[in-house]
Amino acid sequence: MAEDTCVRRMVPDCGDSEQKGASEGFCPDWDVCMPFGGRLYSRDGCVQFEASGTAPADGVYDRVVVQDGCITGVAGQEVASYQPRPCTETPCDCNSGSGGGGSADVSDDSANLITEDASGLLARLYASGEGGITVSGSGTQSSPLRIQAGAQTDRGYVQSGNDGVVVAGAGTQASPYSVSHKTGSAGDQTISGMRFDGYGHLVGYTPPSSAGTVNGVIGRNGVEAATDIASGVVTLDLQRTIHNVQGTYRLGGFDVDVDQYGRFQQIEREVEVAEGDRYFGAYLVGLDSLGNITSVTDTTQDRTVVYHKASRRFTGSEASVTFTTALVGNFRVTLHAASVTSASISIDGVAVTTDHGTDWAGALSGARYALGQHTVSVSGSFTGPGYLDVEIVTGY
């Protein structure tokens, strides 16, 4: 902060002729931002200036930066320039050819083919050859470029890698190389429907049409093959299991009869279960019609499980309770309140016949409710505190 150099001015006191300096609160404090980070402010009737930024150099700027209503900076931008094309009407008409002399700007780019000499502009193509390649001509219509390759003295040689391949020819245009298989001594052959040519290539296949083409039978994966050498007949049979598995087994909801070879002889369904959810302790278990468990849910984490009764205390003029039943049955609902003028009991949003006295209301549902979540609510004119009780009745 800048040094306080304020000279406090004398002000008159209307009560007497005594002069005194300005006191705190004589004039409200104020602040005014100045360009480029400075500010002008008043404290205790004294005006001071504080500079916290750096003013730009003298010049003309085309952009001004404003922040929170104050000028915080300026910036300049170069004025765009325009370079006219070489041939313009001023100072001369290039198309007329009567410019009275002069020169043209030639690009110094490495890819430029145009040069300027005493006779004018010249566009020329340069090319050179390497590795036995020669280039002639100037690249014009009258003298096109000619690219020629010199005579090659290198020559390739080919030889066979084994005695099954024959190489012939001198490797010239008149006598090119010829590479071929040697012909086999056995000639064309057919084996198990497969036809081979004299070079050993597979050239065809015909599915066997008689048993005489079968060369042998091998037993695998629990199948035994017994061959009678004299008759050439092969007998197939199942292998006996290592362990005796013959008997009846309960698999899921089915009884399965298995013989000594492990084959299923008969399958009968023996279990029939009503599909749905069942509670086993705090777990909700889903069962299919075969008694298989399809899902298991831990109900202690996210819901209140009720086996016989549910209860909720209330203090105002509204009462409801939401719970998950573990039993199937009717609901007996009882409301105890400080006073009851009227009441209507609903189960899952459906009203049921309701009785009430001066401090109670009750209902016994005619319908039976399945396992799962239910909500019991009471509306009407009653006041708490009190209790809303729901009892699950499995039979009456």
Q: Which long-range contacts (CB under 8 A, 24 or more apart) does 50-54 make?
A: 50/1, 50/2, 51/2
In this structure, the answer to whether residues 267 and 328 fall within a common structural domain is no
In this structure, the answer to whether residues 251 and 317 fall within a common structural domain is no
Last residue of a domain, one of 53, 79, 105: 79
According to DSSP, residue 132 is labeled T
In this structure, the answer to whether residues 317 and 378 fall within a common structural domain is yes
Whether residue 15 lies inside any domain: the answer is yes
In this structure, the answer to whether residues 310 and 389 fall within a common structural domain is yes
Indicate whether 396 pLDDT > 50.
no
301-330: average pLDDT:
79
Tell me what percent of the chain is helix, strand and coil, each rounded to the nearest 5: 0, 45, 55
Whether residue 128 lies inside any domain: the answer is no
Question: Position 195: which residue type?
Answer: R
Whether residue 278 lies inside any domain: the answer is no
In this structure, the answer to whether residues 258 and 326 fall within a common structural domain is no
CATH code of the domain containing 330: 2.60.120.380
Determine the pLDDT at residue 299.
62
243-270: average pLDDT:
84
Determine the pLDDT at residue 356.
92
Whether residue 257 lies inside any domain: the answer is yes
Determine the pLDDT at residue 98.
47
Looking at per-residue pLDDT, the higher value among 162 and 391 belongs to 391
87-92: average pLDDT:
55
The model's confidence at residue 87, banded by pLDDT at 50, 70 and 90, is low
Last residue of a domain, one of 79, 103, 136: 79
The total number of structural domains that make up the chain: 3
- Domain span at residue 28 reads 1-79
Indicate whether 254 pLDDT > 80.
yes
In this structure, the answer to whether residues 261 and 338 fall within a common structural domain is no
Do strands 319-325 and 305-306 pair parallel, antiparallel, or not at all (unpaired)? parallel
Determine the pLDDT at residue 17.
44
Whether residue 239 lies inside any domain: the answer is yes
Determine the pLDDT at residue 136.
85
Whether residue 321 lies inside any domain: the answer is yes
In this structure, the answer to whether residues 382 and 324 fall within a common structural domain is yes
Whether residue 3 lies inside any domain: the answer is yes
Last residue of a domain, one of 79, 113, 133: 79
In this structure, the answer to whether residues 308 and 375 fall within a common structural domain is yes
Q: How many CB atoms lie within 10 A of CB 325?
A: 21
Cα 167 to Cα 115, 156, 327, distances in angstroms: 59, 13, 94
In this structure, the answer to whether residues 263 and 316 fall within a common structural domain is no
Identify the three-state secondary structure at position 313.
strand
Whether residue 178 lies inside any domain: the answer is no
In percent, the amount of the chain with pLDDT more than 70 equals 78
The model's confidence at residue 103, banded by pLDDT at 50, 70 and 90, is low
Record the tokens describing residue 288, joined without a space.
């299919």
Question: Position 371: which residue type?
Answer: L
Contact 329, 369 (CB under 8 A): yes
Q: How many CB atoms lie within 10 A of CB 67?
A: 10
In this structure, the answer to whether residues 264 and 327 fall within a common structural domain is no
Looking at per-residue pLDDT, the higher value among 207 and 380 belongs to 380
